[in-house]
Structure 1
């Protein structure tokens, strides 16, 4: 059996994350799918945020922004580390 015949197995963290029903399916499609899928995901995220602002008013606009603060901190730390 040649080296090329061995199947590639993803790490356990990827397999567990991809097993989540909706989020995992979208993440797998973003990582292994077409390169344009990231734009569809961004449009979906912005649409959900806008619809929450329409349904809940200003708290629907502010609360997701406040909840994204730790994500932005991590992104900034990753940028500064190079």
Structure 2
């Protein structure tokens, strides 16, 4: 599965470098993702801010449940 994802142009090589590369590559990958999100906010506006937050709600709900479970 990873090899198939690595073959995607313009994204696969960055992901491979972020996983297997040095720390600098990991930091630059995160910076690229943040800049991509900023570009989406500029292009689409408010929905680009809200949709990631709505997608994170179930994850945070599970985290809170695991914290309270002990």
Normalising by the residue count of structure 1, what TM-score does the alignment of the two structures yield? 0.57
**Residue in 1 aligned with 2:24?**
36
Report the Cα offset of residue 29 of structure 1: 0.6
Structure number with the bigger relative contact order (C-alpha 8 A, sep ≥ 6) is 2
Report the Cα offset of residue 67 of structure 1: 3.6
Aligned residues: 64
Point out where structure 2 has 5 or more consecutive residues left out of the alignment. none
Normalising by the residue count of structure 2, what TM-score does the alignment of the two structures yield? 0.63
Point out where structure 1 has 5 or more consecutive residues left out of the alignment. 1-12
Q: Which 4+ runs in 1 deviate beyond 6 A?
A: none
How much is the aligned-residue C-alpha RMSD, in angstroms? 2.7
**Residue in 1 aligned with 2:42?**
54
More helix by percentage = 2
